[in-house]
Amino acid sequence: MSTLAISAGLTYWHAVHKVDVEMQSTLAAVQRTIRVALQDIQGSPSEPSQVARLVRTFDESRHARVELKDARGATLQSSTPAPVQTGMPDWFFALLAPREQSGRVDWPHGIELGQYIQVTADPRNEAGEVWSDIRLHLTTILLFCLLTLTVLSLLLGYALAPLARFLQAFERTGRGEVGSQLPVSGPLELQSLATGFNRMSAMLAESQDKNRKLDAQLEAVQEEERASLARDLHDDVGPLLFSIDVDATTIRALADKKDEPKFAERAISIQEAVAQVKEQVRSILWQLRPGLILDLGLANALENMLAPLKARHPAVAFTLDAPKRSWRPQIDIALLAIVREAVLNALKHGNPKHIAIRIASPDGANVEAVIVNDGGTLATTTNAGSLGVISMQERTKLLGGRLTIIDTSDKRGVEVRVSIPLNGPGSALTPLMPSTKTLQ
């Protein structure tokens, strides 16, 4: 702003000075010309008429007005100045405010007649020239600025174009799609930035791969621990429970023979407790070793998982649509656990009348499990931070899959959808005919 103010001040001073100097120069030149002409016509019989013609020779002068005046100052003859054709606004002429400059020329015969010639410098045309110059300069500066801005815009657009790729790459990384690589091109600064991003992306991809391998190792260790616990329960606790059950049966038989009702009651109580313990042990065994159940296939494992739920919830209809085939053991175990958790969540937090389960591989590259219930929407039935939901998310993420939990289209229930890629060994098995069963 200060530069513009200084430039405007200098331009104004130069314009005023230029008009003033030009008027002085014009006035001196016209006076000199008139004096020379008067010397040539002095003493001529037609001197008065020649003086009048001399005044008219300055018609259409752009910078001066010449007048023949008498002793009282009245104008006897006057030249006609050239019109101002620059389109100069009045405010600009008033801004310059040039002072009027005039001069008087006398000659001997004119003195005798009481006449003289007055020359007045007309600043309007000179101010008009200044206005034209300023307008031309401003137009040139404006065109230069527009051209400069256009060139700068093109250069900046070219230089900053790679930033769009950087933004997209950062967004992909933020979504967890690590491993993106950017082309190393453009200015040195952007090349350094691209190199740093590529290095960071490669390190993130390597770290993510290590984490997945570590998760798989942890899962394998946990599976071994569960297998060990299952064996201990089956081999050690099972026979003890069987022995207790046999003893209780014997006590009850002896009590019946001796007519001892208290013995019989105690024996019945022992048998009931043993039955409950057996049920709990079977449930624990199922959770610890789902692989044993999966030996018969995922569809059969799902049916076995639904059987006790169907017995405890006779009012709920369970629909199962699953192919009689297996994918990778890790995928089968994950799908079985996710379906079980989704069904238990629906029964625990909602009031469903129907739960539908569908397992399929529509594109041959992914296996999908969809569990739909009509027991209420997410707002009333699902807690995103519950252990069940977290467990489903962890199992899906471990296999590189995607889990979504949304309301059904009719807003009457919840849809749990999981998609897991079939990119592991042993995934190219041919599916048999699908098994569709409705368990009432």
In tens digits, what is the pLDDT along the chain, a chain of 440 residues? 677 677 777 777 777 777 778 788 888 888 888 888 888 777 777 777 788 788 888 887 877 888 888 878 888 888 888 776 667 777 777 777 667 778 888 877 776 677 888 888 877 777 777 778 888 888 898 899 999 999 998 888 877 777 788 888 888 888 777 777 888 877 787 788 888 888 888 888 888 888 888 877 887 777 777 766 766 666 666 666 676 777 777 777 776 666 566 666 767 777 777 777 777 776 666 666 555 555 667 888 888 888 888 888 899 999 999 988 888 888 888 898 899 889 988 888 888 999 999 999 888 889 999 999 988 877 765 555 566 788 888 888 888 889 999 988 888 889 999 999 987 433 443 333 333 333 33
Q: Report which DSSP code applies to 296.
A: G
Which tokens sit at 39?
A: 């010397």
Instruction: Name the residue ranges covered by the structural domains of the chain.
Output: 2-144, 298-439
User: What angle do the packed helices 188-232 and 261-288 form, to 10 degrees?
Assistant: 150
For the entire predicted model, the pTM comes to 0.42
Specify whether the CB–CB gap between 290 and 403 falls below 8 A.
Answer: no
CA angle, corner 8, sides to 6 and 13, nearest 5? 95
Give the type of residue at 334.
A
Task: Give buried/exposed letters for 343-368 (b at 16+ CB in 10 A, else e).
Answer: bebbbebbebeebbbbbebeeeebbb
SS3 content of the chain, % helix, strand, coil (to 5): 60, 15, 25
As a whole number of angstroms, the distance between CA 331 and CA 396 comes to: 9
Cβ 423 vs Cβ 331: under 8 Å: no
Phi then psi for residue 421, to 5 deg, are -70, 140
CA distance 373 to 339: 12
Q: Which residue has the tokens 């023949």?
A: 68
Position of tokens 């699902």?
382
Instruction: Indicate the CATH number for domain 298-439.
Output: 3.30.565.10
Per-residue pLDDT at 427: 41
The reported pLDDT for the residue numbered 318 is 93
Run of H or E including 391: helix 387-398
154: CB partners within 8 A, 6+ apart: none
> In this predicted structure, what is the pLDDT of residue 439?
37
Question: What pLDDT does residue 358 have?
Answer: 95
CATH class of 2-144: alpha beta
